[in-house]
Amino acid sequence: MAELYLDIITPSKNIFSGEIKSITLPGTQGGFQVLKNHAPIISTLEIGVVKIVLADNSIQNYATGGGTVEVLDNKILLLADSIERSDEIDVERAKDAMERASKRLNERSSPGTCNEQN
């Protein structure tokens, strides 16, 4: 028998619904794990890895772009800004996104550029 019930939802779809044994999350104040009978909590999440131990003891890892989690009465609701299962990540798309982000950061920090709008 599973310990907890988890729903993972993004703005575009439901990613996961089912019974689990535990979940480890990248909280903004540090990572934390939720087990059966965890105290009620609402927390924001950082970019990072979500590790889920399923009812059959198998493990699923997800990469998240942040979000919010609520734990109440052995039910967990994870509202993710973005989330992908580790084995479903499109590596080329991720590399392209990282290059675009690096370019934007470099443009912002270049000397002589003014980012203020009047």
- Domains of the chain, by residue range, sit at 4-109
Select from 63, 80, 72 the least CA-distant residue to 9. 80
Q: How far is CA 11 from CA 27, 45, 100, in A?
A: 20, 15, 23
pLDDT-derived band at 118, boundaries 50, 70, 90: very low
Is the domain spanning 4-109 CATH 3.40.1640.10? The answer is no
98: part of which helix (H) or strand (E)?
helix 91-109
The structure's pTM equals 0.75
pLDDT at 115 (0 to 100): 52
Q: How far is Cα 86 from Cα 88, in angstroms, rounded to an integer?
A: 5
Contact call for residues 27 and 43 (beta carbons, < 8 A):
yes
Give per-residue pLDDT as tens, 56-77.
999 999 999 999 999 999 999 9
